[in-house]
Amino acid sequence: MLERGWDWYDILLVTGDAYVDHPSFGTAVIGRVLERAGYRVAVLAQPDWHSAAAFEAMGRPELGVFLNAGNLDSMVAHYTASKKRRSEDFYSPGRKAGLRPDRAVIVYANRAREAFPGTKILLGGLEASLRRFAHYDYWDDAVRRSVLIDAKADILIYGMGETATLEAADRIRDRRPLYGIRGSAVVLDKPPAGALELPSFEEVAADKTLYARAARRENAEHDPIRGRTMVQRHGDRYLTVYPPAMPLSTAELDSVAALPYTREPHPMYDAQGGVPAIEEVRFSVIHNRGCFGGCNFCSLAFHQGRMVTSRSHESVIAEVRAMTKHPLWKGYVSDVGGPTADFRSPSCKKQLRDGMCPLKHCLTPKPCKHLEADHSDYLALLRKLREIPGVKKVFVRSGIRFDYVLCDKNSPFLSELVRYHISGQLKVAPEHCVDSVLGYMGKPPSAVYERFLEKYAALNRRYGKDQFLVPYLMSSHPGSTLSDAVALALYLKKHNARPEQVQDFYPTPGTISTCMYYTGIDPITMKEVYVPRSPKEKAMQRALLQYTVPKNAPLVREALRACGREDLIGTGPHCLVRPERNKREDTSSVPVRRQSRGVSGDGRGQKKSPGKPAPHTRADASAPGRGGRKRGRGSGHDSLPS
């Protein structure tokens, strides 16, 4: 501020992450967009929240405090699926945990109000977006009110918030009301005319069937073309959620990507070891937004939306050319991806007029007859990037939809992907092998993945490549019984795979799968669904996916006996685990062999034959990643991030 000659500023932008000036980080994008529009923006990253002093340090902003929890929900950032505290935070300097509070947007809003009474407070980011309605909270094991109500903020921006945030800033500047902005939520004394009323907070907290009906409607109306304004009573006031903002056009995405990001963490973190999250994405490119994949456990559909838009070739090429001048550049584009790497356009032309089909998936349980599977534009982009001077390799490390690849008949995409764009391993997401479980997940039948395996193996043989797949696998998803987990263990045995890590289903706010977990009802069909909830059963399902790990043997035996599968306990080639010893088992001398890239699933360090790609598993949910599977990446997920 001193260098710019500022003695006042407009907006205090608060984030739960360390500040990283890169387009993969929402705070950087929103800050740059506001700056381009002429606003003076001060960024307060990971403030000490125990008092208002850190907020007061820069003085009162002219317009308001805009805040977010960071690239992840703060509870996901802090806790594992078993509710254990994480020891590291990849979005903090030196991986140090504990630099943001639990339920960060609520805490930050309280401190901002304490520091600046009467100032406008805007909530944004993933945490606010997924908690905009009354929602089940896994960590409280209860239904919580909308985070907008709990934070007592003036407005909440959900989804990819560039246009809504700018409009809100303009209205605050011009002293105009904040209601009616697409992609936002406010609290009103009475509902707007024509709004669709959901069951109230009090009703969904008391009745799981009403909760499932509300979740069904919230997801059905999450569409920028046909979506309607929804209201949900909280006490005597009305949470009012306006339809999603329209996705940014190609020209708008290009303009956001062209902002002057340094692609680096703030230098104040250098002495603390930097910010690890940048390492995965520093030389990556986000070429698209949105995902019509429709995974029920992923937060992407409820955040970014299902309508895919993408940047122009010229914009992506300009970004990569600029990368080649970075002092740390070594010639490798680490990823050309996004929520799903191989989506470049909407799934069909109909949605451009009528919006996405409510409560239907484009790809599952089988591809829609209107689906337009086409990799030609993405392939043309990758070819252009390979030709840029100074570029040695262009990798695709975000996950691809293997079922979408198979829908694009006679396309050279997979062939060129295998030849040029895989860094030893390709990430895909079969998740399970039992079709009933896959149905609840919103994933294609197992036979589709098997077809992809065969095609991938054949291409590796053709080009003499020694590359394998990294399939994401999940235990304890709603609909998965203990017998289903046994079937998945047998599937892994058949493929000679020994995953080091598996992903337990993580009920994150806003997803269809989380609704199933809480209510025991599939909100799409409104039919009952089995849910593994007990810590013991979840531990057994997880142990079955790692049945070769010696310490898991007692749990694996217990699970097999509970399923009546004692035939799998023994020393035969078909067995999963050996019988108990007469004396207490001593596993201290049994080595646990680690897999490494390019090594077979048997863990013995032998080169894997490209003729039989072995399933591996997802990275731990705490690791930074682009996909956002944001589960979360949700995802998700996780998706992730994002």
Domain boundary among 185, 215, 241: 241
Among 93-102, 164-173, 578-587, the least confident range? 578-587
Q: How far is CA 451 from the centre of its chain?
A: 26
Strands annotated E in 119-162: 120-123, 135-137, 142-144, 155-157
Listed range (388-397, 537-546, 595-604, 606-615) with the worst mean pLDDT:
595-604
Give the C-alpha distances (Å, rounded to integers) separating 358 from 94, 115, 223, 225.
44, 44, 8, 11
Better-predicted residue by pLDDT, 603 or 359: 359
Sequence-separated (6 or more) residues with CB below 8 Å from residue 420: 382, 386, 393, 394
What average pLDDT does this structure show over 65-89?
96
Tell me: do 303 and 181 sit in the same domain: no
Specify the range with the lowest mean pLDDT, choosing from 99-103, 215-219, 370-374, 579-583. Answer: 579-583
Q: What is the pLDDT of residue 501?
A: 72
Residue 638, pLDDT score: 32
Please tell me the predicted confidence (pLDDT) of residue 540: 97
Q: What local confidence, expressed as pLDDT, does residue 586 receive?
A: 43
Q: pLDDT at position 628, please?
A: 37
For the chain, give the mean pLDDT: 90
Higher pLDDT among residues 620 and 405, named by residue: 405
Q: How is residue 105 written in tokens?
A: 């947007």
pLDDT value at 639 more than 70:
no
Same domain, 181 and 305: no
φ, ψ (nearest 5 deg) of residue 64: 165, 180
pLDDT number for residue 613: 39
- Assess if residue 606 is contained within a domain: yes
Quickly state the pLDDT bin for 620 (edges 50, 70, 90): very low
What is the domain extent for residue 486?
283-580+598-639
pLDDT for residue 189: 97
CA pair distance 440, 377, nearest whole angstrom:
32
Start-end of H helices in 387-511: 402-407, 413-420, 435-441, 446-462, 482-494
Counting residues of the chain whose pLDDT is more than 90, the rounded percentage is: 84
Query: Is the pLDDT assigned to residue 598 strictly greater than 70?
Result: no
For residue 417, give both structure tokens: 């992907």
Which is nearest to 225 in space by CA: 150, 307, 285, 302?
Answer: 307
Q: Kindly tell me if the per-residue pLDDT of 430 is higher than 50.
A: yes
Residue 634: the pLDDT is: 33
Q: Are residues 305 and 433 in the same domain?
A: yes
Determine, yes or no, domain membership for 254. Answer: no
**Nearest one of 291, 384, 413 to 345, comparing CA atoms:** 291
Query: Do 52 and 166 fall within a single domain?
Result: yes
Question: What's the confidence (pLDDT) of residue 572?
Answer: 93
Q: What is the pLDDT of residue 1?
A: 86
pLDDT-derived band at 197 (thresholds 50, 70, 90) equals: very high
Classify residue 390: in a domain, yes or no: yes
- Per-residue confidence (pLDDT) for residue 338, from 0 to 100: 94
CATH number (domain holding residue 326): 3.80.30.20
pLDDT at 615 over 70: no
> What is the pLDDT at residue 590?
38
Domains held by the chain: number: 2
Whether 388 maps to a domain, the answer reads yes
User: Both tokens of residue 601?
Assistant: 């699933």
Question: Tokens 């929890």 sit at which residue?
Answer: 69
pLDDT on residue 471: 81
Residue 329 and residue 217 share a domain: no
* Helix and strand element counts for the chain (H, E): 23, 26
Least confident of 34-38, 245-249, 416-420, 427-431: 427-431
Q: Which residue has the higher pLDDT, 422 or 472?
A: 422
Q: What tokens appear for 599 in the block?
A: 């090594």
Does one domain contain both 360 and 493?
A: yes
220 and 363 belong to one structural domain: no
Q: Do 469 and 537 belong to one domain?
A: yes
pLDDT at 202: 98
Report pLDDT for 582.
63
Last residue of a domain, one of 241, 275, 292: 241
115 and 193 in a common domain: yes
Token representation of residue 201: 């907070």
Asked, for residue 266, whether it belongs to a domain, the answer is no
The answer on pLDDT for 387 being more than 90 is yes
Identify whether 516 is part of a domain: yes
Rg (CA), the chain: 24
Q: Do the Cβ atoms of 253 and 309 come closer than 8 Å?
A: yes
Q: What would the mean pLDDT of 34-54 be, rounded to a whole number?
A: 97
pLDDT tens-digit series, residues 84-142: 999 999 999 999 999 999 999 999 999 999 999 999 999 999 999 999 999 999 999 99
* pLDDT surpassing 90 at residue 386: yes
Q: What is the CATH number of the domain that holds 67?
A: 3.40.50.2300
pLDDT at 592 over 60: no
Tokens of 175: 């002293």
pTM for the full model?
0.89
Is 319 or 582 the better-scoring residue by pLDDT?
319
Q: What is the pLDDT of residue 36?
A: 97
* pLDDT at 383 > cutoff 70: yes
Answer yes or no: do 298 and 228 share one domain.
no
Q: How confident is the model at residue 637 (pLDDT cuts 50, 70, 90)?
A: very low
**Do 234 and 377 share a domain, yes or no?**
no
User: How confident is the model over 546-577, as pLDDT tens digits?
Assistant: 999 999 999 999 999 999 999 999 999 999 99
| Least confidently predicted of 75-79, 258-262, 395-399, 632-636 | 632-636
Domain membership flag for residue 592: no
Q: Rounded to whole angstroms, how far apart are CA atoms 338 and 286? A: 5
**Domain for residue 273, yes or no?**
no
User: Which DSSP symbol is given to 192?
Assistant: P
How many other C-beta atoms lie within 10 A of the C-beta of residue 479? 23
pLDDT at 588: 38
For residue 472, the model assigns a pLDDT of: 87
Among 241, 258, 293, residue at a domain's last position: 241
Average pLDDT over residues 224-241: 97
Write the CA distances from 66 to 239, 324, 520, integer angstroms. 19, 34, 37
- 524 band by pLDDT with thresholds 50, 70 and 90: very high
Residue 621 pLDDT exceeds 70: no
Q: What is the pLDDT of residue 602?
A: 33
Residues 183 and 313 in one domain: no
In this predicted structure, what is the pLDDT of residue 399? 85
> Is a pLDDT exceeding 70 seen at residue 145?
yes
Give mean pLDDT, residues 145-153.
98
